[in-house]
């Protein structure tokens, strides 16, 4: 079982890397592939570590940084957009090899940061590894997101337990957005006239959207230090400091303009 988990994590990690690399080169399909298979890779990796006795410290460190990433954005939104109707777009439940649901740490951190500010949640189902739906991740377009807003899958079929989302002012996404979401510096469909904040999945191609207030906030990653930067690596690999602001500053940047 451990070998299956390791293979699953490695394969998913490779696909994630391919998606991210191609996205940086301009391939629109790269971002959704990287995010979807990143979720799977993390789940399989945690499962593998658990089967092997687990390196709880390493696991908890990365979980801690995920939560801090989202908590910081949540606090910013709570301080500046508390009066808005908020919809959170996130990944759906994913089960590890033992059938246990992997916690959505980004959503947990975001809600902690939002505090008493309420939000609705729209979870995008995670396709089963190797399924036709997983292959369709390479074609995640705005029309598919528009379907999800209506409670439907990529093919337009109703998703059991889902219904059309209500009105909202601000969308917070933990999974990015399709490359063709914006036209003329504005969102399409249900995103027309809405504000958007990114926990992750933001790309510098969308920097201009801050000027039109279409994007109001985005958490981005600091560059990973080179192997020769001993001090930088030590800083990056430290456990998250207990102070949320200091922990966030280790790895991330909050863009607001």
Which residue ranges form the domains of the chain, and what is each CATH number? 67-255 (3.40.50)
Q: Say whether pLDDT at 18 is over 80.
A: no
Provide the pairing of β-strand 186-187 with 120-124.
Answer: unpaired
pLDDT tens digits along 222-241: 998 888 899 989 999 999 99
Residue 208 pLDDT class (50, 70, 90 cuts): very high
Q: What is the DSSP string of 124-174?
A: EPPPPTTSHHHHGGGG--HHHHHHHHTTB-TTSPBPTT-------SEEEES
Q: Say whether pLDDT at 1 is over 60.
A: no
Q: CA-to-CA distance for 179 and 141, rounded, in angstroms?
A: 7
Encoded tokens for 99 = 């059938």
CB-CB neighbours of 106 under 10 Å: 24
- Comparison of pLDDT for 179 and 35, the residue scoring more: 179
Q: Say whether pLDDT at 122 is over 60.
A: yes
Name the residue among 233, 245, 83 with its Cα closest to residue 170: 83
Mean pLDDT value of segment 209-220: 95
């Amino acid at each position: 079982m451990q070998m299956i988990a390791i293979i699953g994590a490695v394969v998913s990690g490779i696909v994630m890397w391919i998606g991210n690399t191609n996205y940086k080169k301009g391939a629109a399909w790269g971002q959704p592939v990287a995010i979807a298979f990143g979720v799977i890779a993390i789940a399989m990796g945690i499962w593998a570590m658990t089967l092997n006795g687990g390196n709880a410290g390493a696991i908890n460190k990365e979980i801690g940084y995920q939560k801090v990433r989202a908590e910081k954005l949540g606090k910013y939104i709570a301080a500046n957009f508390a009066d808005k109707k908020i919809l959170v777009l996130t990944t759906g439940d994913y089960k590890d090899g033992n059938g246990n649901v992997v916690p959505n740490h980004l959503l947990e951190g975001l809600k902690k940061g939002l505090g008493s500010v309420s939000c609705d949640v729209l979870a995008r189902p995670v396709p089963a590894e190797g399924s036709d739906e997983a292959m369709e991740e390479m074609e995640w377009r705005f029309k598919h997101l528009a379907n999800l807003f209506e409670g439907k899958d990529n093919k337009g079929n109703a998703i059991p337990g889902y219904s059309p989302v209500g009105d909202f002012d601000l969308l917070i996404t933990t999974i990015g957005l399709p490359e063709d979401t914006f036209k003329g510096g504005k969102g399409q469909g249900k995103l027309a006239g809405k504000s958007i904040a990114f926990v992750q999945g933001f790309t510098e191609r969308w920097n201009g959207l801050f000027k039109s207030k279409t994007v109001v906030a985005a958490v981005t990653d600091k560059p990973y230090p080179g192997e020769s930067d001993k001090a930088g690596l030590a800083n990056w690999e430290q456990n998250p400091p207990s102070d949320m602001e200091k922990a966030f500053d280790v790895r991330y940047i909050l863009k607001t303009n």
